[in-house]
Chains A and B, each alone.
Chain A
Amino acid sequence: MKIMIIRSFLDGGMKRDPCRMFRKLLPAVILLLFACALGPLHAWPEVPFKQEFEDICSRTSDAESLSVQELEGLIARCDKLRPAIEKTGEPERKIYLKRLNMCKDLFVYVLDSKKAAARGTPNGP
């Protein structure tokens, strides 16, 4: 049904009046532009590694409840992600590296404490 409508719209519309299609599409274009303008007003520009970065660093809130294996996995992912961030320009590189380091440091810290607890010795200075 949908295909039929689109086909008739394209065939009929374009054949009869080429401008008609654009006139019909205009409201949709305006709506799209409006939606874009309404997006987060403080969103940072997109970076290619954002998904992976967010997946990793979203785990800082529950780092304490993660297993040793999970923490080691997250630390490895931090190390793997680092070169991708280093390739970007400033200030993205500086900002995301700082944020990634904070996440990694926390995972290392929790991991060390878990290992120390397993050994029965407190960590820290």
Chain B
Amino acid sequence: MKKIVLFVLLLFVAAGIAMAQTGVKKKRPLPYEYGRVVINNYSEQAHLAPVVFDHWFHRSQFTCRVCHVDLAFAMKAGSTGIKAEDNSKGYYCGTCHNGKKDFDNRKVFAACSKEFGHKDLQRCERCHSLGKNVKKEHDFAAFSANMPKERFGNGINWEKAETLGLIKPVDFLDGVSIKRPKLKIQKDFSLEPKVEGMPKIVFSHKKHTVWNGCEVCHPEIFAGIKRGTTKYGMVDIMQGKYCGTCHGAVAFPVLDCQRCHTEPVE
């Protein structure tokens, strides 16, 4: 009888452990990992490792708009559905990664080819690198050494880096981007925080429009055009909605309260 009771008890304990919300803390990415996107729509089907895309390098070269409007990369990781064939036709990554484009006095390697053999494996693994010990061409430590520092994210204050002329993100690709009239400079504005006593949020509309244009944020991320009409809070943002679409994924994370809550309480 005692054995049965002990067995049932053990069974409950084991089931309890198995079903428990263990609450494993999500690992905060290291500066060089921040903004990293793993793309695995078709890679493993093709017996290749998933693609590891480092946002930090690309964002130092291009504005968000070039890739997320002109090249039509979706804002949500993996939702673009890039195929090797698309790249080899010269779209998506293949727009620049075509083996012809010059960068830093050399040709940008071609992303994908219609035919490939063992000799191309090294080139494939430059992107298809998840779980592989691939030496990256661009070293984050060397790149970030002279950049203005930031507490979180990549540890780089990208806005300041641009202001100081350390980065010059390209906003136009010949033959791909559309010649648009000059964007009207938007005025920065402040938003009321929900929590009493928190400093007001100063939203840099100017900086956001310069990097993103209008259509990256409106209406997909922010449906209300009039200030304050899109209601959201920190929980939504932490879940990756609204500001959290970028701030927490690529742009500085919302852990850095003072970056947004900057206006002192009157």
Contacts and interface: CB of A to CB of B under 8 A. Distances in A.
Does A associate with B in a complex? yes
Interface of A: 39-45, 54, 57-65, 90-92, 94-95, 98-99, 102-103, 105-106, 108-110, 112-113, 116-117, 122-125
Contacts of B90: 42, 44-45
Contacts of A94: 72, 81
28 contacts: A40-B173, A41-B100, A42-B90, A42-B95, A42-B98, A42-B101, A42-B173, A44-B91, A44-B95, A44-B176, A57-B178, A60-B215, A61-B180, A61-B183, A62-B184, A90-B86, A91-B85, A91-B89, A92-B91, A95-B92, A105-B215, A105-B219, A105-B220, A106-B219, A109-B219, A113-B226, A124-B225, A124-B226
A123 B225 contact: yes
A124 B224 contact: yes
Given A43-B175, A124-B224, A125-B224, A65 B184 contact: yes
Contact of A42 (B175, B184, B219, B231): B175
A118 to B, nearest CB: 13
Task: Name, among A39, A42, A59, A106, the residue most crowded by chain B CB atoms within 10 Å (CB to CB).
Answer: A42
Secondary structure of the B side of the interface?
loop
Contact of B230 (A59, A91, A125): A125
Contacts of B83: 91
A44 B92 CA distance: 10
A4 B70 CA distance: 48
A57 B100 CA distance: 28
Contacts of A91: 83, 85-86, 89, 91-92
Given A102-B69, A105-B215, A54 B225 contact: no
Contact of A116 (B173, B182, B226): B226
Contacts of B226: 113, 116-117, 122-124
Interface string B156-196: 00000000000000000111101111111000000000000
B150 interface: no
B215 A103 contact: yes
B96 A42 contact: yes
A108 B228 CA distance: 19
Interface residues of B, number: 44
A91 B175 CA distance: 16
Given A57-B178, A61-B182, A125-B230, A41 B102 contact: yes
Given A58-B181, A61-B180, A116-B226, A43 B218 contact: no
Contact of B229 (A90, A95, A122): A122
A91 to B, nearest CB: 4
B127 to A, nearest CB: 17
